[in-house]
A and B are shown apart, each in its own frame.
Chain A
Amino acid sequence: MSAVVALRQERSDSPSALPAKIAIRHLSVDYPSPDGRPVRVLQDVSLDVAPGEFVAVVGPSGCGKSTLLRVLSGLLQPASGTAAIDGRGVAEASDRIGFMFQRDTLLPWASVEDNILIGAELGPKRVDRARLGELIAFLKLKGFEKHRPHELSGGMRQRVSLGRLLAYEPEIFLMDEPFGALDSQTKAAMGRELLRIWSAHQRAVLFVTHDIEEAVTLADRVIVLSARPGRIRLDVQVDLERPRDPKLLRRDPRFLSLVERVWGALDVQPDL
């Protein structure tokens, strides 16, 4: 635990002292378009994420947030620039990448349990019954173990996705609006739990959200992307001590001014 604390302090003193876990350099991404000319989605994005750092990404919808995560997970090739994990290209990286898609991507024919076990089967260690039960209780899915995805609400499906992700024990978390479908209470609870897991394991997290307060509450750093093609408009450190209590934060002037700044960066719309 003391190592954890030391790591925290070292980072807040000098964020660039550690080698980057994720290093993105001058990244540009194109998609093919029907008329043949590629559409630029991300433009010259450079970003470092330190080991154990929690970075939130916000931006108008369609600006390329999901695209950024897809490049980092090796699903998409950039048009130019590089993305590396521990200095190696994302395709060769050895770290387990836990990707949570914006849409829940569950096996429609498999039960809640079996969907979560997918993560365990592909992860580093077997998950026994007891651990699975813990996970299911933690995700508030008790009593739904044998249910199939179509019998669950959107929020529950998203929690099953999270369960699968946690069972996989990723070394890097790439989360694409993971709590977007949840009501605000559950969202806050899931955020708290994510922070608990994160602070226990010190994994780098890239967390896409459209909820600015959520971003500031959870993250060490908030990145704001511009409208398409996405460029980094703001990269702001969140120097609020942890653990953070969302109820108290709401009245903290530092929190409010950060939210204000992020809003401001989002509001700039040069294209309009």
Chain B
Amino acid sequence: MSAIIQSGQAGIGLAGLAGRRVRLGLIRDRILLFAVLVGGWEVLSHTVVDPLWISRPSLIAERLVALAASGELWRNTQRTLLEAVLGLALAFAVGVPLGIAMARYKYGHAVAEPFIMALHSLPRVALAPLFIIWFGIDLFSKVMMAFSTVLFIFMLNVHEGLKTIDRDLLDLLRTMRAPRHYVTRKVLLPWIVPWLIASLKIGVGLALIGAVVGELIGSSAGLGWYIEKSAGRLDTTGVFAGLVLLMAIAVAGNLVVARIERRFSSWRPS
């Protein structure tokens, strides 16, 4: 847990250590590595391996351009992004209050705990067929997939964070007769920010998994659907184009979380 929270600081440390020149060098070397990998792939597909299996970077790039031109790229990317973001937001909106309730109502939590853990351990992927029956083949079932994958992350992390809360701080506010909403706003919520950020970091990837799994099982749009459809036709170029776009979404998501983290990393529990 704390390792996750602190990793952002390590990043800042590296930036502080590295001067401008070192940083430019780093970027150059990363581009170099990328070129070597992609170039190697390209060469491999022209010489040793049939592109039927591994496609070819140049073909994938062509496909991406074609998809962008037809509007299909944006339609599918946007769909998957929307599913994951809505699922993540819903998991946040439901998971945080549930995590707070778990910390506040200790007996109720003790009663519910085995069931919560059982649900948490259930591979959520297996829920996809049921969700498609319940929520249909469109957007909503995928949102629920993403939601169910991330929900427990928020719930359990918030609960864990609140367990470490400084009792003296709460006692002090009690002696000052602070109303409950004041304590929640001034102490509980700020206290759990590091845990929320840690949840978000894990949650971005998991929400994407939930959405794509839902799409693979049954859908009519989205990157998962596009990958499924391409694979069905042995169109590996299509599969790789979908994977590239998924990776782009994941990277963008991580960048957003890193920004949020930098904005809020003013304090960490010691």
| Residues of chain A having any CB pair with chain B under 8 Å | 70, 73-75, 96-97, 99, 101, 103, 105, 107-110, 118-119, 121-122, 148, 150, 168, 174
Contacts and interface: CB of A to CB of B under 8 A. Distances in A.
B67 interface: no
Given A74-B174, A119-B176, A122-B178, 12 more contacts: A99-B172, A99-B176, A101-B168, A105-B171, A105-B172, A107-B169, A108-B267, A108-B270, A118-B173, A118-B176, A118-B186, A174-B175
A109 B190 contact: yes
Among all A-B residue pairs, the 4 with the closest Cβ atoms: A109-B267, A99-B175, A73-B175, A122-B176
By DSSP majority rule, is chain B's interface helix, strand, loop, or mixed?
helix
Nearest to B168: A105
A75 B174 contact: yes
A231 to B, nearest CB: 25
B267 A150 contact: yes
Nearest to B190: A109
Contacts of A97: 175-176
Interface size classification for chain B: 20 to 34
Interface string B150-172: 00000000000000001011011
A75 B171 contact: yes
B187 A107 contact: yes
B135 interface: no
Contacts of B172: 99, 101, 105
Contacts of B270: 108, 150
A103 B172 CA distance: 11
A168 B176 contact: yes
Contacts of A148: 266-267
Interface in B173-193: 173-178, 182, 186-187, 190, 193
A135 to B, nearest CB: 17
A74 B168 CA distance: 14
A74 B169 contact: no
Given A105-B166, A109-B267, A150-B267, A122 B171 contact: no
A97 B263 CA distance: 36
A174 B172 CA distance: 12
Contacts of B177: 96, 122
A260 to B, nearest CB: 35
Contact of A107 (B175, B178, B190): B190
A107 B174 contact: no
Contacts of A99: 172, 175-176
B219 to A, nearest CB: 42
A96 B173 CA distance: 12
Contacts of A168: 176
A129 to B, nearest CB: 20
Contacts of B186: 107, 118
A105 B168 CA distance: 7
Given A107-B186, A107-B187, A75 B175 contact: yes
A119 B166 CA distance: 18
